[in-house]
Structure 1
Amino acid sequence: MTTTDDVPAVGDLLKDSPKNWGKWGPDDEVGSLNYLTADVVLEAAKLITSGKIFTLQTPMADPEGDPVWPGRSSAERRNVMDEGHYLAGKGPAFSGGAHYADDVMTCFLQGSTQYDALGHVWYDGQIWNGYDAKTTVGAMEKASVFPIAQRGIVGRAILLDMARFRNKDYLDKGETFTHEDLMACAEAQGTKIEPRDILVVRTGWIGKWYKVTHEEFFADFIEPGLTYSPELVQWFHDMEIPNLVTDTIANEVTVDPVSGVTLPLHNALMRNLGVTLTEIAWLDDLAADCADDKQYTFLYAAAPLKIMHGTGAPVNPIAIK
């Protein structure tokens, strides 16, 4: 089966790709996060030497707009109770006379720094672990973000500053790199990617959002990022990578320049291997500190919101050095 315009179907492109389906049993919904065992967490804790903390979420409901995938809207927050209600005689009265403020927010669950559910993207009628894609109808009954949120994510992470490695503030539109480039970047930083590392990849792309007009950011939209190859997928599989974190909206180059397939790594890594994807991370402050003290490995901790049946959920990851 192929699609039109000489672009192959995802199933054809990935027909020989490795799968981790069944590796952790027929009911698994957290995939490669299973690699983050207690021993891995304890080893990661040894990386804490200074106590420095970096939060990696972008602001939500920014009045100037949030960096989101084209077609999604920024989060919108509004007050539903504040001192104005009391001045108008509409605030509820409490014994003792206390006043309060309250607000609500409407947002795409994947409209900020967030974790994708493993069932978020699929092909050929099956999501992660072989669950039927019909389980997504109406609500994600299998492989939602909820089991990931319940479990939490803690492990050794390594920052791979691809923008600084290429002597750029941010990578160009559609600029690609491979797993070999990631290893070369680590070597240049004086570090090494270890099995079961959480990969935190900086392209400078989200930083660019705050430096240019939104019209410029979205014009001819194609993000920089990792590009698909069988060798890259096999490397992720062999290295038992549990989590890919990037400062882009979709974690990979938007359209694979060789096959023409859109976002093939969402399927090759997330659907097939169970690698969790964390997108829209704020990495510029962490990267500046890593460049200063030369410590590119750290304890990474994250727990997305416990949204039942969610295809994704906002998160504020923490890097501790």
Structure 2
Amino acid sequence: MSTDERDIAELLADAPSNWGRWGDDDEVGALNYLTEEEVLRGVRAVEHGKTFTLGLPIGRPGGDPVWPGRSGADHYMELDKGHFEAGKVDVPGAAGLEYADDVVYMFLQGTTQFDALGHVWYDDRLYNGFDAGTTKGGMEYCSIEPMAEHGVVGRGVLLDVARHRGRDRLDRGERITLDELLDCADEQGVEIEKRDVPIIRTGWIELFYEEGADAFYGDEFAEPGITYSRDLVEWFHGMEIPAFGTDTVANEQTVSDETETILPLHGALLRDQGVAFNEINRLDELAADCDDDGKYDFLYVGAPLKIVGGTGSPVNPIAIK
């Protein structure tokens, strides 16, 4: 994985920022754009009542797709029928009522999830200027909890780039430009409106489920996606994009062919603009239905868990058409 050693602060020195836009104490960033009016605009996109859940299964026997260095979920039964058969459980007053309990140990970013705004930083500052030292032992500022209190509800728009290119999936490390996103929307007959939640389909996550982990990770991990460019980050800023999602682990081209660094949009969008990242979605069923009926907008509902001091949260987003 070839990368440039330039400092990210230098690369993003002139990038647009939302720091201070909603006050010095703000911890939800661009989700402030999702007002009651925006929620109702999302509701108006509902025509059929068809519902699509975008979350991945957790703890599959074949494993879960995660960022390299993280592990998939470990799922354990804490109590089951065997405990009762062995006489290891005594529940006074249960009168024969039995039950099962289980435990999941997992990375908070180990499945379909939202990043907290403080998850990634540079130059020792989180979103809105909070000191990176406040992440020690748990996130004092910009954790997932304020985002979870707010919720992520608005008009979603699917941008099926894979289908736009006439392919099942994009190739390893391929780039998606802003012009292609706009061309994709135009071909689909859908308008991306201010404060929408774009959901970008590459088809990449399907490789994990169809061909396995070895094919997915390869010799070096290099996902396709959008990446930093001045026009793209200015478009996000001008369009007041509150959140976006993809069917990739990190929502962007792993090594940017623009900056030659890893994940620059996590700096330019998450840290600088406070845009919420919804990563590792499964979009095949939603995409097939959109292609079938020609309707690519929907009510998007994302509800992260209220994990105190958490760097992110699992989520099962819902698209309602």
Same fold flag (TM > 0.5): yes
1:37-186 map, 5 Å: 37-95=35-93, 96-186=95-185
Contact 1:68 1:249 in 2 (8 A): yes
Identity of counterpart residues, as a percentage?
55
Partner residue in 2 for 1:226: 226
Contact 2:303 2:315 in 1 (8 A): yes
Alpha-carbon distance in 2 for matches of 1:150, 1:5:
37
What's the offset of the Cα at 1:8?
A: 1.4
Report the Cα distance in structure 1 between the residues aligned to 2:230 and 2:143, rounded to whole angstroms: 27
Matched residue type, 2:36: A
Give the superposition deviation at 1:192: 1.2
Give the AA of the match of 1:158: V
Q: In the alignment, which residue of structure 1 is the partner of 2:17?
A: 19
Q: Look up the equivalent residue of 1:175 and give its one-letter code.
A: E
- The aligned residue for residue 293 of structure 1 is 293
2: CA distance, partners of 1:77 / 1:200:
29
Structure 1 stretches (4+) deviating beyond 4 angstroms? Answer: none
Aligned-pair distance for 1:234?
0.5
3-state SS of paired residue (1:90)? coil
Q: Report the residue type matching 2:24 in the other structure.
A: P
2-structure distance, mates of 1:108, 1:79: 18
The C-alpha deviation readout for 1:54-100, integer Å capped at 9, x for no partner, is 00100001111001011110001110101100110112224221000
Separation of aligned partners in 1, 2:214 and 2:302: 32
CA RMSD in angstroms comes to: 1.1
Within the alignment, does 1:212 sit opposite 2:228 as a pair? no
Tell me how far 1:259 sits from its aligned partner: 2.1
Residue among 32, 35, 45 paired with 1:34: 32
Q: Give me the whole-angstrom Cα distance separating, in 2, the residues matched to 1:149 and 1:242.
A: 14
Gaps of 5+ in 1: none
Structure-2 separation of matches of 1:25 and 1:59: 38
Residue pair 1:198, 1:243 contacting (<8 A) in 2 also = yes
Pair 1:161–1:15, CA change in 2 (3 A): same
SS in 2 for 1:78: strand
CA distance in 2, matches of 1:40, 1:291: 25
Residues 187-214 of structure 1: per-residue CA shift (max 9 Å, x gap): 0001111110001000001111101121
Task: Provide the rounded CA distance (Å) in 2 between the counterparts of 1:40 and 1:160.
Answer: 20
Contact 1:7 1:259 in 2 (8 A): no
Whether the 8 Å CA contact 2:4–2:261 is kept in 1: the answer is no
After superposition, the C-alpha distances for 1:1-21 in whole angstroms (9 at most, x for unaligned) are xxx985311000000011100
Query: Aligned-pair distance for 1:278?
Result: 0.5
Is residue 247–residue 279 contact of structure 1 (8 Å, CA) maintained in 2?
yes
Name the SS for the 2:313 alignment partner.
Answer: strand
The CA distance in 2 between the partners of 1:54 and 1:191, in whole Å, is 19
CA contact 2:208–2:215 (8 Å) conserved in 1: no
The one-letter code matched in structure 2 to 1:47 is A
Residues 275 and 5 (structure 1), Cα distance of their counterparts in 2 relative to 1, 3 Å cut:
closer
**Cα-to-partner distance string for 1:155-177 (whole Å, 9 max, x where unaligned):** 00100001000111110000001
TM-score by length of 2: 0.97
The letter of the residue matching 2:11 is L
Residue type at the aligned position of 2:80:
D
How many residue pairs were aligned?
318
1:56 and 1:319 in contact (8 A); partners too: yes
| 8 Å contact kept, 2:72–2:106 | yes
Where does structure 2 lack aligned partners over 5 or more consecutive residues? none
- Asked if 1 retains the 8 angstrom alpha-carbon contact of 2:3 and 2:260, the reply is no
C-alpha distance after superposition, 1:136-171 (max 9, x if no partner): 111100000010111111100100001000111110
Q: Give the Å deviation of 1:251.
A: 0.3
Alpha-carbon distance, 1:47 to partner: 1.1
CA contact (8 A) 2:3 2:262 kept: no
Q: Distance in 1 between matches of 2:212 and 2:6?
A: 35
What SS does the aligned partner of 1:231 have?
Answer: helix
Q: Could you say which residue in structure 2 is the equivalent of 1:274? A: 274
User: Using a 3 Å threshold, how does the CA distance of structure 1 residues 138 and 157 change in structure 2: closer, same or farther?
Assistant: same
What residue identity is the alignment partner of 2:84?
Y
Code of the aligned partner of 2:291: A
Q: Does 1:283 align with 2:277?
A: no
CA distance in 2, matches of 1:41, 1:305: 20
User: What letter corresponds to residue 273 of structure 2 in structure 1?
Assistant: L
SS at match of 2:88: coil
- The amino acid of 1:18's aligned partner reads P
